[in-house]
């Protein structure tokens, strides 16, 4: 089952310090126990990430994370939940926040960033409109055979001004 979402959704409203706080507050040993690993007194068990009969997976207390001497899998508590439950980093962070009642997130729902998207869309359509208008200007220049005016020339400035007025007219009537 693929539970991964589109990248833009993954990191919605998740500052990097959230991950650091989770690592600080959820001891790796507790997370391992919470998600069903049975650790020996030395903190070892059979690796959940590769098939083995002799335990080579070691969980370190506190912020030590985990490491498998068999397959090389390793990381912090967020990485563990990410891999173990097949979640994205942000999803793993939310999962740990919920399961260990950390209260790092205001609500279960991700913050609504749709205004950013609509702003980007608005800007894009404005750019498109500008580009179309510019095409129109070029077209009009061609029709009127007006050379590109130097900005300092008063006569061509007047022509440009007239062209601008004509352009406004065409824009209104198109
Ligand atoms: Zn392993």
Enter the pTM of the model. 0.55
The parent domain of residue 31 ranges over 7-99
Is the residue at 104 inside a domain? no
CA separation, residue 106 to residues 86, 96, 101, 149, 162 (Å): 24, 14, 12, 58, 57
Is the residue at 155 inside a domain? yes
- The total number of structural domains in the chain stands at 2
Both 140 and 77 in one domain: the answer is: no
Both 93 and 20 in one domain: the answer is: yes
Tell me, in angstroms, the distance from the centre of ligand 1 to residue 82's CA: 15
Q: Which residues contact 114 (CB under 8 A, 6 or more apart)?
A: none
Task: Return residues with CB closer than 5 A to ligand 1 (ion).
Answer: 47, 49-50, 68, 70-71, 73
Instruction: Say how many C-beta atoms besides its own lie within 10 A of residue 14's C-beta.
Output: 19
Q: What is the Rg, in whole angstroms, of the alpha carbon atoms belonging to the chain?
A: 30
Tell me, in angstroms, the distance from the centre of ligand 1 to residue 57's CA: 6
Digits of tens for pLDDT over the chain (174 positions)? 444 444 434 445 577 888 899 999 999 999 999 999 999 999 999 999 999 999 999 999 999 999 999 999 999 999 999 999 999 888 999 999 999 999 988 655 554 556 566 777 777 877 787 777 777 777 777 777 766 555 666 777 777 777 778 777 777 776
Among residues 99, 126, 145, the one where a domain terminates is 99
CATH number for position 61? 3.90.580.10
Q: What is the pLDDT of residues 46-85, one digit of tens each?
A: 999 999 999 999 999 999 999 999 999 999 999 999 999 9
Both 122 and 87 in one domain: the answer is: no
Both 45 and 121 in one domain: the answer is: no
């Amino acid at each position: 089952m693929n539970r991964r979402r589109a990248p833009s959704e993954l990191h919605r409203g998740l500052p990097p310090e959230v991950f650091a706080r989770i690592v600080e507050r959820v001891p790796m040993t507790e997370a391992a126990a919470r998600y069903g690993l049975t650790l020996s007194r030395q903190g070892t068990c059979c690796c959940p990430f590769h098939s083995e009969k002799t335990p080579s997976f070691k969980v370190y207390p506190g912020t030590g994370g985990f490491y498998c001497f068999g397959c090389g899998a390793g990381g912090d508590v967020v990485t563990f939940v990410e891999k173990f439950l097949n979640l994205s980093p942000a999803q793993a962070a939310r999962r740990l926040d919920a399961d260990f009642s950390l209260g790092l997130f205001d609500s279960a729902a991700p913050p609504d960033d749709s205004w950013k998207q609509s702003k980007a869309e608005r800007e894009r359509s404005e750019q498109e409109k500008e580009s179309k208008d510019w095409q129109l200007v070029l077209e009009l220049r061609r029709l009127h055979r007006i050379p590109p005016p130097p900005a300092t020339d008063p006569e061509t400035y007047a022509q440009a001004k007239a062209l601008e007025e004509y352009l406004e007219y065409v824009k209104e009537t198109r």
